[in-house]
Structures are given as structure tokens and as C-alpha cells.
Amino acid sequence: MAVPGSPRSANVDPVRVLVTEDDENLRVAVAAALRGAGFALDTAADLPQADEALAVNDYDCVVFDRMLPAGDALGYVERRRQAGWGVPVLFLTARDAVHDRIAGLTWGDDYLVKPFAVAELVARVRSLCRRGDLPAPSVVRWQDLEVDTGGHEARRGDTPLRLTRKEFIVLERLVAAAGNAVGRAELIAAAWDEFVPPASNVLDVVIAQLRRKLGPPPVLHTVRGVGYVLREPSG
């Protein structure tokens, strides 16, 4: 039974979170805060332990320290994403360079730089878990583009598109808009969360990747001051 004020009601299973952090003191503090907020918590000290937990449990969100004894968790998450894994991921790290943030937000869903307030981490985890509960249509189409959210597959005409999770979410929103412009803030909120500012360039990186993967003729266009739109090729 979930405790009062927890992320889900007493009639459903509690939200389950995995925290992977090799610093024992930080791991214990984060776990205590999340349990106190009503989450069901498992912890791991390294990537092999996390991999074992993920093999036997379903999680609503996973928190990874980026630099772990077995290596950078970013590469681990990237490999799982490419295999179709869609669980929301929050990275914790002391690396705050722009390219590190972009890499973290490309393969993860949120990125929190150390040192951080534990209360903020709890808020970000709650936000990621809420997003995972949102229903979505199974298949959306526009012109020769098709996005299957259930199968996590996309194609243009007869050509399958190999997309990252972020690219997939952005394309799905654009296809669902059926030729209407979608704002930057909406796309960022869908693929990342409200903690990523609309001026962040993480969306620009994903849009550039999408344009390349969609190929010719170009259909993904910028609407200055608004966001992006899918338009039929001219001519």
C-alpha cells in the first residue's frame, strides 16, 4: 500500500525507482528521500548490480550516477535505448560542460549536476514518473511518415528509421500535429521535462539528427519564433 501523498493511490502498486550510485553516503541519502516521498526503492552500487536489477524488475524511473566503477553509465543507457528500452532515466554527475549535458539529455531524460538539493531530485523523479503514465495513441501518420508508439518503430515510406528515444518522441509529436507547428517548449517538455529551458540547444541537436535521418525530400522545417513543423515537399 502506498503511503499518503505518494505518487500513486493505495489501490495500485507504488512507483518503483532504481538508484545506481557508487558513493554509499549519497546513495543512502537519495534512497531515504525517495522512500520518504512514497516511492518503492531499489539501489545498486555499480552497473552490473543495476543490470541484474533491471533484468528482474520493472521500474518507472532509473537514476544513474554517470561515472561508475565499471564505466560511464551513459554508454550503458545508450546501448539499452538502441535496443528499444524506454524507461525514463535521470543522470547524476559532476560533469557540467555543455557537451556533457547534451549527451546526457540525448540518451537520458534529465540531468542533475552535483552537488544538488535532494528535494529537487525527488521533484525531477516524480516528474519523470508522471510522464511515463501518460497514454499515447498506438500509431500516428502524416503523409509518408508513420510512428508506432507501441512498437517503438518509425518509417518513412518503406524505409525504417533508426531513431533514438528523443528523436522518436519529437517525431511522434510532429506527426501527431498533422502539419501544424509545434512549439519548442512543448517538444522539450515531451522529450525531456520542464526543468530543461526552452532556449536549450538539446532540441536543435535532435532536430538536426531527425532531418538527416528523414532524408530527402525535406519535410521538417523551422517556424521562426515558434518551433517546428512538417510540410509537404514543394514541387
Residues 154 and 84 in one domain: no
Residues 122 and 215 in one domain: no
Q: Which of 89, 105, 132 is the last residue of a domain?
A: 132
Residue 4 domain flag = no
Q: Which of 110, 132, 154 is the last residue of a domain?
A: 132
Which domain range does residue 68 map to? 16-132
Residues 120 and 86 in one domain: yes
- The CA distance from 147 to 156, in Å, is 9
Residue 97 pLDDT exceeds 90: no
Q: Quote the pLDDT of residue 148.
A: 86
**Cβ-Cβ contacts under 8 Å for 90 (sequence gap 6 or more):** 61, 62, 63, 64, 108, 109, 110, 111, 112, 121, 124, 125, 128
Q: Quote the pLDDT of residue 214.
A: 94
Q: Quote the pLDDT of residue 42.
A: 93
**Quick one: what percent of the chain has pLDDT higher than 70?**
87
Residues 52 and 71 in one domain: yes
Which residue has better confidence, 179 or 234? 179
Residue 100 domain flag = yes
For residue 114, the 8-state DSSP code is S
Residues 143 and 46 in one domain: no
**Cβ-Cβ contacts under 8 Å for 65 (sequence gap 6 or more):** 20, 21, 22, 23, 26, 73, 91, 92, 93
Residue 91 pLDDT exceeds 50: yes
Residues 120 and 42 in one domain: yes
Residue 235 domain flag = no
Residue 114 domain flag = yes
Q: Quote the pLDDT of residue 47.
A: 92
Q: Tens digits of per-residue pLDDT, 185-226?
A: 888 877 876 566 666 788 899 999 999 999 999 999 999 888
Residues 28 and 73 in one domain: yes
Mean pLDDT is lowest, of 23-37, 39-53, 184-198, for 184-198
Task: Give the domain CATH number at 219.
Answer: 1.10.10.10
Residues 74 and 146 in one domain: no
Average pLDDT score, the chain:
83
pLDDT band at 136 (very low <50, low <70, confident <90, very high): very low
Task: Give the domain CATH number at 74.
Answer: 3.40.50.2300
Q: Quote the pLDDT of residue 2.
A: 39
Q: What are phi and psi of 25, to 5 degrees?
A: -60, -45
Average pLDDT over residues 4-31: 75
Residue 188 domain flag = yes
Residues 118 and 22 in one domain: yes
Residues 88 and 49 in one domain: yes
Residue identified by cell 516511492 is 39
Q: Tens digits of per-residue pLDDT, 186-195?
A: 888 778 765 6
Residues 97 and 143 in one domain: no
Residue 68 domain flag = yes
The count of structural domains within the chain is 2
pLDDT band at 113 (very low <50, low <70, confident <90, very high): confident
3 state DSSP class of 44: strand
Average pLDDT over residues 130-143: 66
Residue 185 domain flag = yes
Residue 108 pLDDT exceeds 70: yes
Mean pLDDT is lowest, of 98-107, 109-118, 126-135, 201-210, for 126-135
Please report, for residues 173, 228, 231, the alpha-carbon distance to residue 131 in angstroms, rounded to integers and kept in the order given: 14, 22, 28
Residues 72 and 128 in one domain: yes
Q: Which of 109, 132, 155 is the last residue of a domain?
A: 132
Q: Quote the pLDDT of residue 118.
A: 86
Residue 215 domain flag = yes
